[in-house]
Amino acid sequence: MLDAFRTARDSMLDALRVAPGWLAAHSMLQLVLAFLPGAQVVLIRSLVDGGGTWGPLLGLTVVVGAMYPITQVSNIAGQRMMLRLRLDYRVELAHVAARLSPSRLAEPDVVRDLETSQAATDPMSDVAGKPVQVLSAAVTSVLLCIAIASINVLSGLLVLAALVPTVLAFTLISRMEAKGWPRVGEYERAAAYATEQLIQQRSGTELAVLGSGWKVADQIAGSRTQATYVLDRMIRTAMNLELAAALVTVMLFGGALIALVTGGANGGAAAAAVAGTITGLNAIRQCGYAFGSIVTAAPQAMIYRRFARSVPPAARQTVVPQVESVALEHVSFAYDDVPVLHDVCIEAHRGELVALVGVNGAGKSTAINLLVGSLSPDCGRVLIDGKDARHLTEAERLGYFGLLVQEFGRFEFTLRDAVALGSPDPVSDQAVRTALTDTFAAGLPLDTQLGQQWGGTGISGGQWQRLALSRIRLRNAGVWILDEPTSAIDAEAEREIFADLRRTKDERITIVVSHRAWTLREMDRIYVIDGGTVVQQGTYPELMARQTGRFARLFAAQQE
Ligand SMILES: Nc1ncnc2c1ncn2[C@@H]1O[C@H](COP(=O)(O)OP(=O)(O)OP(=O)(O)O)[C@@H](O)[C@H]1O
């Protein structure tokens, strides 16, 4: 209940900030509507009881005639307010997502919270007008109660009490939905993920070639069936509660009418009360829907607001182009108590080409993540220019690095935009062109749209990797960390890339993860990681000379 109240309050405050004019128009018209049923009772009574003919008749004409247009205009004002709020929430969420740090993105709940928040923007914007509608219904009931109580007090009180079952029913519904929606969300998320595998070009093509897409379709069916089952149960329970509330409401209105008639009210008063009550019933039903929207939106809205608040304000990165040294000093690290790195010491200085090698799962990517700060060591220190990196904020620390990960992004934007993402700052076309020098894209217009799904140019896996490398070039940070930078690139282009890295190595610190022996030949130092420990270090000839060493065994098959 408290969550529903907070959701209503926060949405109203957001509407006041984003669309004050439409909120004011919607609220004023709703309050005008609140007076009409009570006015109806007074006017009909006055007309039937002989309190004048033309005055009450004119009044009734205005009241009845105004009800529909006022309702319509109020709804339109509400919708226009909703549109603006929804835009505001969506834009806010995009900025929040853009501010997520690598360490936060690695947390397991982040994607789920982000998706729930995305789904929350519609119901949250819908909620903004609802508190006014609930208030309007409450005012309607109170005024109706006063108007009818002037004929019969018990009747008036029964009309007021008719609000209670609806409010009670929706409170119970909200509790049930607060439990049910997260479960539905999980099933929907699993189904959405599996659907994406079917329709995304890369995974979809693999499944089509394997002829096993139907297995993924079965998984989608399973998740969607579970979600539908939970939803169906929620709808059934909500329907039963709403029906029970409607029944009690009708009984209370019936009781009010009986109390009127048995209380000795004349025909005119009874007719006035009946007419007002019918209009009032409608208002109370609206109140039920409005209240229901608030309580249904509350769990999602709470997640949205908690998530948006949990992401700190933007801390702009500043790229540091010159770094003298980086080091892991006696670093150990465990994922959930499973040790992965033990007492690892790695260092790299400006002008050096340093390689990390080891079998899959040896701990190379973990070491890199510890260096850039996506993970924090359990023991030991990370040093940047000799200083403990713990004293840097995550944004400050990331500014020292240009990191090319194995799962590099394939950004299907224009060529210019895809490369410009390498820098946190706006970049000139000239800088983009320089970053693309000697690549397949050097001669392409910067406005070239990438990605066939946008009607653009389809490019190969290796070409996407070259664009990812161009982003690192454009960024020009003091430390380049390249995790298998040429895994998708042909041998000739690979040689060119490594030759370029060697030629320009004095400008920076370069750390490469590579599984290809020949790329390691000219490294200044190679660290061999095995089972989370540095087991050997040296140059290629030094390591190969130790025939029984881990390195020689790893690369024996690749020796020419
Ligand atoms: N997020 C994670 N949670 C738990 N364990 C993890 C996580 N990431 C990696 N691991 C485990 O840590 C160990 C080291 O993984 P890491 O990714 O550092 O290896 P790697 O040497 O980079 O492997 P590859 O050559 O395949 O990229 C592996 O046993 C892996 O299963």
ipTM for this model = 0.97
Residue whose CA is at the smallest distance from ligand 1 atom 25: 360
Residues 6+ positions from 307 with CB-CB distance below 8 Å: 96, 113, 114, 116, 117
pLDDT of residue 559: 60
Query: Which amino acid residue places its CA nearest to atom 1 of ligand 1?
Result: 335
Q: Please report the atom of ligand 1 found closest to the CA of residue 106.
A: 1
The CB of 276 under 6 Å from ligand 1? The reply is no
Sheet holding 525-530, edge to edge: 401-404, 479-483, 509-513, 353-357, 525-530, 533-538
Q: Which atom of ligand 1 is nearest to the CA of 406?
A: 27
Distance of CA 214 to CAs 137, 211, 295, Å? 52, 8, 39
β-strand 509-513 against 479-483: which pairing, if any? parallel
Average pLDDT over residues 26-33: 91
Cβ of 21 below 6 Å from ligand 1: no
Give φ, ψ of 25 to 5 degrees: -65, -45
Compute the chain's Rg from CA coordinates. 34
Output the CA angle 17-23-27, nearest 5 degrees: 140
Residue 167 burial by CB count (10 A; 0-12/13-18/19+): exposed, middle or buried? middle
What is the SS3 assignment for 77-123? HHHHHHHHHHHHHHHHHHHHHHCCCHHHHCCCCHHHHHHHHHHHHHH
Pick 40 or 19 by higher pLDDT.
19
3-state secondary structure 7-67: HHHHHHHHHHHHCHHHHHHHHHHHHHHHHHHHHHHHHHHHHHCCCCCHHHHHHHHHHHHHH
Any ligand 1 atom below 6 A from CB of 369? no
**pLDDT tens figures, 78-114:** 999 999 999 999 999 999 999 998 888 888 788 888 8
Question: Residue 156 has what pLDDT?
Answer: 83
Half-sphere exposure of 229 (CA within 13 A, CB side): 8
For residue 560, what pLDDT is reported? 54
Q: How confident is the model at residue 386 (pLDDT cuts 50, 70, 90)?
A: very high
Q: What's the gap in Å between 535 CA and the centre of ligand 1?
A: 17
425-430 contacts at long range (C-beta below 8 A, 24 or more positions apart)? 425/319, 427/474
pLDDT at 516: 81
Question: How far is the centre of ligand 1, averaged over its atoms, from the C-alpha of 333 (Å)?
Answer: 11
- What pLDDT, in 10s, does the model give residues 251-274? 988 888 888 878 877 777 777 777
Does residue 53 register a pLDDT over 80? no
Q: In this predicted structure, what is the pLDDT of residue 525?
A: 95
Q: Tokens 């990812």 appear where?
A: 468
In this predicted structure, what is the pLDDT of residue 15? 94
Ligand 1 closest atom vs CA 341: 14
pLDDT of the residue at 40: 81
User: Average pLDDT, whole number, for the chain?
Assistant: 88
- Across the range 300-304, mean pLDDT stands at 89
CB-ligand 1 contact for 366 (6 Å cutoff): yes
Q: Report how far ligand 1's centroid is from the alpha carbon of 405 (Å).
A: 13
Q: Give the pairing of strands 525-530 and 509-513.
A: unpaired
pLDDT recorded at residue 84 = 96
Q: Three-state DSSP class for 206?
A: helix
For the ranges 45-49, 406-410, 505-509, the one whose mean pLDDT is highest: 505-509
Give the chain's count of helices (H) and strands (E): 20, 10
Above 90 in pLDDT, residue 216? yes
Q: Is the pLDDT of residue 27 over 80?
A: yes
Best residue among 341, 364, 514 to mutate for probing ligand 1's pocket (most ligand atoms within 8 Å of CB) is 364
Closest CA to ligand 1's atom 4: 335
| pLDDT per residue as tens digits for the range 471-510 | 999 999 999 999 988 877 888 878 888 888 888 899 899 9
Residue 75 has pLDDT above 80, yes or no: yes
Encode pLDDT of 345-362 as tens digits. 999 999 999 999 998 899
With bands split at pLDDT 50, 70 and 90, how would you rate the model's confidence at 51? low
pLDDT value of position 69: 93
pLDDT tens sequence across 535-555? 999 999 999 888 888 888 887
Using one digit for the tens of pLDDT, what is the confidence trace for 167-186?
A: 788 778 877 887 888 888 88
Which residue's CA lies nearest to atom 26 of ligand 1? 360
For residue 363, how far is its CA from the centre of ligand 1 (angstroms)?
6
Ligand 1 touching residue 77 (CB < 6 A): no
The rounded distance, in Å, linking the Cα atoms of 206 and 193 is: 16
Residue to mutate, 105, 340, 511, ligand 1, most ligand atoms under 8 Å from C-beta:
340
Are the CB atoms for 292 and 178 separated by under 8 Å?
Answer: no
Q: What is the pLDDT of residue 422?
A: 94
Asked whether 108 lines ligand 1 (CB < 6 A), one says no
Q: Is residue 363 within 6 Å of ligand 1 at its C-beta?
A: yes
Contact assessment for residue 99 and residue 312, using Cβ atoms and an 8 Å cutoff: yes
pLDDT at 249 over 60: yes
Candidate of 111, 366, 511 to mutate for ligand 1, largest count of ligand atoms within 8 Å of Cβ: 366
Does the beta carbon of 339 sit less than 6 angstroms from any atom of ligand 1? no
The reported pLDDT for the residue numbered 557 is 67
In this structure, the residue with its CA closest to atom 31 of ligand 1 is: 361
Q: Is 360 in the pocket of ligand 1 (CB under 6 A)?
A: yes
Domains and CATH numbers, the chain: 2-192+231-310 (1.20.1560.10), 325-558 (3.40.50.300)
Q: Which token pair is 484?
A: 């298998």
Return the percentage of the chain with pLDDT > 70, whole number. 98
> From CA 464, how far away is CA 418, in angstroms rounded?
10
Does residue 358's CB lie within 6 angstroms of at least one atom of ligand 1? Answer: yes
Distance 361 CA to ligand 1 centre (A): 5
Single-letter code of the amino acid located at 476: N
